[in-house]
Structure formats: C-alpha cells, structure tokens
Amino acid sequence: LGYVAFYAIGAYTTAFLASPHFGIHISWWIVVLIAVAAAAGAGILLGAPTLKLRGDYLAIVTLGFGEIVRIVFRNLGDFTLALPAFLGGAVLVGPHANLTGGNVGINPIDPPTIPIPGPWGNEIVFSNQNATASFYLVAVLLIITFIVCTRLRDSKLGRAWMAIREDETAAAAMGINTVTTKLLAFSLGASFSGFAGAFTGAYQTAIFAESFNFAVSILVVVIIILGGIGSLRGVVIGAFAVQYVNQTLLRFLGEKVLNDPVNALGDATGIALLGDFNLVNYNYLIFGIVLAIMMIRRPEGLFPVATAKAELHGVGISPDSTAGSADELAVAEEAAPALPEDTR
C-alpha cells in the first residue's frame, strides 16, 4: 500500500532536476535513472525496519508511509526553519523556503525529448501535448518493463521471492537469506514505482502533492487483484481494464445514460444527493464493490497463474495432504545457495 510514496518520490525527483523550480535542467533520460535510484533507496529505508512485519501490520505501516510522504511534500512548499538558540532562549529563524511547491506544485517540468528533426521540429517531445509520440514511448517502456519483470520472476532471485511468499520459515531453513531477499524486493518494487512517477511527472509537465493520495494505491490493489496476484499478464490486462473503466466508461455511462435521469429525479423529489449525482464521482465505490466481489467469488483474479488457482480452489489437494510441500521444497531448493560439500 506504499506504492504511491515511491511513485511520488520518482515524480518529485524529476521535478527537482528538470524544471525551472531550482533552475536545473538535466535530460530526462538521465533524471529517470536518478529517480529510480532515489525510489529504490527509499524502499530500503522503509523495508529495513519492517522486515519482521507481515499481513495487516505491514499494510498499515506502508499505508502510513505513503500518507507521510504526501504530507511532507505538501508542507515543504511553504515553511520557515525555527530552531531554539543555545543562549537566551531566543529563536533562530532560518530563511523562508519553498522546496516542493506545496499545493501549487511544480510547473512546468521538462518532458523527455529525442533530437530527431522532422515535420514536428528539431526534436520529438514526449508530453501530453504530443499524445501520438507519447503513446509509442509508453508502449516501448511497457514492453521493456514486462521483459525485465519476466526475467526477474524466472531468475534465482524470483524463485527465492516465491519461496518466501509461500513459507518464509521453510525458505530460511533451506538457506535463503530472507533479510537480503526481502530488502531487494522492497527496493526493486520501489524502483519500478519511481520509474513510473518519473515518467508521469515529465509527461504531465506538472506535479501536485495531492495527486499522490491513497486512492492511487487503491487503484494499484484493484489492478493486481482483478488481473491476478502473481500474474504479469493479468496485471497488464487489469491495468488497461481499470483505466478504461475509470477514465472512459464511467464518464460515458454518466453523461449518456445515468446522470440526467438521476438529476431529474433528484430535482423532482428534492433529494440533493440525486440532484448532484455524477457517476464519475462514485468510481471508488464501484471499484470497492468489484474488489469485494472478486475477493469472494474469484480471489485468484481473472488471469491467475496455475499455482494460485490450484491453491485457492484446492485443485488436486486434499485437506489432509501435503501435496503442496513438494512444490514449495523444489522452489526453495532452487532458490537456495549451493551448500559446500562435506570435506571431512
């Protein structure tokens, strides 16, 4: 649930290093690497003290971290340092500062560019003012990200992550360094979030602290559960589906089908809630209902991996059997480091 924090860190890193805010204008292609590193570092800082937390406790901590980051970025837009002096009880007041733009945000931000001349000018600009070029850049970045995630999943590190997910105690017993492996999960996951934030800030050419609220993390959770936990294909399809519903379908249904009749009913009955009805404003309620239905009826998601579907529905597994133990052991053995031979 702390995804939005690293997303914001990536976006603000881009804004700091590629905008007139501090007078720094580094190429986005370099800034994105710095943003990824900053987000990865933040992931380690969050992961280190929370390694022993699991389940609801981990969710609460990461949720709190996301909200703290948003509030910090908002409050650092307009502040003055005030420190107690050592003598006389006076107060040393520092200079007035504006680090993050506060609620006003940082605008404009330099978009990604490629110096290729053509009918479009001396360079191709990837921003919300050039949707076609931005579409192709996003498609390339998506393919690269998908390939990297697939390779990570199938690597020794990915198998170690799966072993820890299934049974951390058993994974540790098989020789997996759970501390290092979990920290890598935090940092790599955060780096992808920072990468997304870096592109979003540059594409929109502006960022605002309130854009990085808890609702962003909720959308990510909906995407993962809808697509299928552990399924890369499912997450991609889920992201397209959720964004289509959120950005297009609800607006279309509201403007063409529901808003006017419900508003008319509200005017006739004097019910203000119906008179001001707009379907788009109920998007998170709709996603919440869909999320609850999915968790009850199809917890593995629409496009699950085979193992998740088998575990959740008990396919081929009896309640008293330990059929899953062999698979978990194989995963742990593959992920564990090779043990030295007996040299006695």
Looking at residue 344, its pLDDT comes to 39
Grouping H, G, I as helix, E, B as strand and the rest as coil, residue 341 is coil
Residues with Cβ within 8 Å of 36's Cβ and at least 6 positions away in sequence, in order, are 10, 191, 194, 195, 198
Q: How far is CA 84 from CA 80, 96, 189, in A?
A: 13, 17, 40
Residues with Cβ within 8 Å of 10's Cβ and at least 6 positions away in sequence, in order, are 35, 36, 38, 39, 193, 194, 195, 196, 197, 198, 200, 201
Helices 28-47, 55-75: inter-axial angle, 10-degree rounding: 130
The pTM of this model reads: 0.81
Question: Is the alpha carbon torsion for 84, 87, 90, 93 positive or negative?
Answer: negative
Q: Which backbone phi and psi does 76 adopt, to 5 degrees? A: -80, 5
Q: Provide the CA 145 distance to its chain's centre, in angstroms.
A: 14
Closest CA to 66 of 221, 175, 201, 252: 221
For residue 114, what are the β-bridge partners? 124
Contact by Cβ (8 Å): 74, 209 = yes
Contact by Cβ (8 Å): 178, 172 = yes
Looking at residue 331, its pLDDT comes to 47
Query: CA-CA distance, 69 to 212, in Å (whole number)?
Result: 9
Q: Which two tokens stand for residue 233?
A: 């294909």
Looking at residue 194, its pLDDT comes to 95
Query: CA-CA distance, 334 to 157, in Å (whole number)?
Result: 10
Query: CA-CA distance, 192 to 273, in Å (whole number)?
Result: 40
Other CB atoms within a 10 A radius of the CB of residue 163 amount to 26
Contact by Cβ (8 Å): 127, 202 = yes
Q: Which two tokens stand for residue 153?
A: 């999943």
Query: CA-CA distance, 69 to 280, in Å (whole number)?
Result: 27
Other CB atoms within a 10 A radius of the CB of residue 49 amount to 9
Closest CA to 8 of 46, 50, 44, 38: 38
Looking at residue 322, its pLDDT comes to 42
Query: CA-CA distance, 124 to 121, in Å (whole number)?
Result: 7
Per-residue pLDDT of the chain (344 residues; tens, 9 = 90+): 788 999 999 999 999 999 998 899 999 999 999 999 999 999 999 888 887 777 778 888 888 888 999 999 998 887 666 666 555 555 555 566 788 888 888 999 999 999 988 787 888 999 888 889 999 999 999 999 999 999 998 899 999 988 888 888 898 998 889 889 999 998 999 999 999 999 999 999 999 998 898 888 888 888 888 888 778 889 999 999 999 998 899 999 999 989 999 999 999 988 888 888 999 999 889 988 988 888 888 888 888 877 666 666 665 444 444 444 445 445 445 555 544 444 43
Looking at residue 35, its pLDDT comes to 96
Closest CA to 164 of 61, 51, 62, 58: 51
Looking at residue 254, its pLDDT comes to 92
Grouping H, G, I as helix, E, B as strand and the rest as coil, residue 254 is helix
